[in-house]
Amino acid sequence: MKIESLTVALRPRTAWEAVELGTALVRRHASAIWKPWLLLTLPVFVLLNAMAWAIDALWLAGLAMWWLKPAFDRMALFVLSRAVFGDVPTTRQTLAAQREWGRSWLPGYLLWRRLSPLRSLNMPVDLLEGARGSDARGRRRALGPPVHGVSVLVTLVCLNFELAVFVALAGLAILFVPDVYVQQVLARAWAVLREAPAWLGVLSNALAWGATSLIEPFYVGAGFGLYLNRRTQIEAWDVEIA
């Protein structure tokens, strides 16, 4: 790894400054991140909902899309980890990399590590450094503890943002209803919710997918920013460049 190729200004930052650095990188490389994200997650979304519709269990499709987040997160992390060294991957390269890159870590992140609030911080350590077993655990212990609290808060903040986006998208139609009809529309909407038609389940899953697609890359970016900052603090990258 040639740290002299880094495209960000290296200096010791506070944890929250590091989070902002990560989200700024996501904004800078938005096209490289969201193009492959949409090209991969949209077909998966359609397939899962079609299968769930067939068995009349659309909630399973929503749950599966939520559970597969760590697999999708690899795309944003792949782009950021290369773009920060000045080598922004193409959409084709990012999608092709998903067949192998980080695949050995997926079982853990889809099973016993799936609910970890430290996922955004630990994934860069595991996927980018290549350590295994006790070496990987040692690296996580060396890098993580000083920023564990911030990492947990980042997870909670991003979950709340996803919920806010979901609610905002669900209530968007009300903005276009004239005031005199709002009460009637709300009454009709409540009746539809009680009937719970199949299309409503698909719509709910689509809104959840949209909220996740908007927020999740920033969640990955925040963890990557924390990771970069901890590497700088521990290994003095800024001093080495100077």
pLDDT tens figures, 112-126: 999 999 999 999 999
* Highest mean predicted confidence (pLDDT) among 38-52, 167-181, 188-202: 38-52
Of these ranges, 11-15, 80-84, 181-185, 214-218, the one predicted with the greatest mean pLDDT is: 214-218
Please choose, from the candidates 1, 165, 158, 164, the residue with its C-alpha nearest in 3D space to the C-alpha of residue 86: 1
What pTM was computed for the model? 0.89
Encoded amino acid at 211, one letter: A
Q: Is residue 153's pLDDT more than 60? A: yes
The mean pLDDT of 227-231, rounded to a whole number, is: 90
Q: Is the pLDDT of residue 59 over 70?
A: yes
Report the alpha-carbon distance of residue 139 to residue 76 in Å, rounded: 22
pLDDT band per the 50, 70, 90 thresholds, residue 129:
confident
The whole-number pLDDT of residue 9 equals 79
- CA nearest to 47, candidates 35, 60, 37, 28: 60
DSSP state of 102: T
Amino acid letter at 20? E
Which residues, including other chains, have CB under 8 Å from residue 178's CB and lie 6 or more apart? none
